Amino acid sequence: GNSVTQMEGPVTLSEEAFLTINCTYTATGYPSLFWYVQYPGEGLQLLLKATKADDKGSNKGFEATYRKETTSFHLEKGSVQVSDSAVYFCALRLQGGSEKLVFGKGTKLTVNP
């Protein structure tokens, strides 16, 4: 079946540290891939997405590259800020199929000043 596996948290970093949150997927066909972020007390919002192999999604200093050969979509940021503290979800959607998203379990990030 289709599934998303992301690194378990929580992740705690100091401000300006480098961030990587790993995400790998299993899917039939060629999915589109997403990172969503949930700030404390809020719903999820789209952070970035990529629709085909080798695409790079980027937003707010975050980046992720769709790697078909390793079925991965790792999230990176070169220098995190306290305001990046949130829960991050990796997700996939099958192209041309159902509108449903399949989510990973989420990774909680805490950035300390």
CB of 38 to another protein, least distance (A): 8
Nearest approach, Cβ of residue 105 and another protein (Å): 4
Residues that bind another protein (CB under 8 A): 32, 34, 36, 41-46, 49, 51, 89, 93, 95-96, 99-101, 103-106
- According to DSSP, the β-strands at 75-77 and 62-65 are antiparallel
Least distance between another protein and beta carbon 15 (Å) = 26
From residue 91, give the alpha-carbon distance in Å to each of 18, 47, 57, 83. 22, 11, 13, 22
